Structure 1
Amino acid sequence: MREVILFGAAAQSGNLLSTLMLPVLFLAIFYFFIIRPQQKKDKKIKEMRNSAKVGDEVLTIGGIYGKIVKIKDDVITIEVGSDKTRFNITKWAIGSIQASSETTEE
C-alpha cells in the first residue's frame, strides 16, 4: 500500500510539471515571435529618428515630404514645398528619412 501512495505522489508531481509546461511554452513562443521583434523594430525606428540631421529629406507619418532646417531637442523645423513653408513637428512624427540633400548634390 505504501508503494502505491508514493507512485501516486510521483504521478501528481509529473502532472503538475506538464500542466505548468504548456503555459510556459506559450509565453516563450509569444515572446520570441511577437514581443522581441517589436522591440527590435522600435529600437531601429528610435535610432533612425535620433540620427536625423539638418539637411535630411524626411517623410512624416502624415505623408508630408520636407527638408529639416532646424533641430531643437524634440522639435524639428522642416521646409515644405516650392515656397519653402516652414513648420514644426516632433521627432516621433518622422516616418522615414529619405536622403540627405547635401549628399545628393555632390
Structure 2
Amino acid sequence: MISIFLQAAAPDTMMPTMIMMGLMFVGFYFLMIRPQMKKAKQEKGFQAALKVGSRVVTTSGMHGRIAQIMEDGVVIETLSGKLKFEKAAISREFTQQRFPDSTEEKK
C-alpha cells in the first residue's frame, strides 16, 4: 500500500516550477525590494533638501540645528557645541516625528 503512494508520476516539464519561482521573485520584489528602494529615495531627497537653520535629529538621537552644510557632511549646532556629521547620519523619520512643522513631505 505504501509503495503505491511513493510512486508519484514524474512531471513532464519544469514549467510549473519555473512559474512558481517567477511568482516568488515578483512577490519578493513588491513586498521587500520596492519599498526599500522607495524609502532610500525619500531619505536621499530629504538629505539633499537640508538647509541651514533646519532642526534635525540624527540616527543616534542627537538633536540640533544645521549651522553649515559642506560637501562631505553638515555641522550641527547642539547645546554642547558644534559637531560635524555625515549627511547620512541625519534621520528623516526621527526628524519628522520630532519636528513635523520644520520638514515638508512632498507627495
Q: CA deviation at 1:16?
A: 1.8
Which ranges of 4 or more aligned residues in structure 1 deviate by more than 4 Å? none
RMSD (CA atoms): 1.6
The structure with more helix, counted as a fraction of residues = 1
Bigger Cα Rg: 1
Counterpart Cα distance in 2 of 1:62 and 1:24: 40
Q: Which runs of 5+ in 2 are unaligned?
A: 1-10, 103-107
The structure with more strand, counted as a fraction of residues = 1
State the TM-score, normalized to the length of structure 1.
0.74
Counterpart Cα distance in 2 of 1:18 and 1:62: 48
Counterpart Cα distance in 2 of 1:18 and 1:63: 50
Q: Which runs of 5+ in 1 are unaligned?
A: 1-10, 101-106
Counterpart Cα distance in 1 of 2:28 and 2:45: 25
Q: What percent of counterpart residues are identical?
A: 34
Where does residue 55 of structure 1 map in the other structure?
53
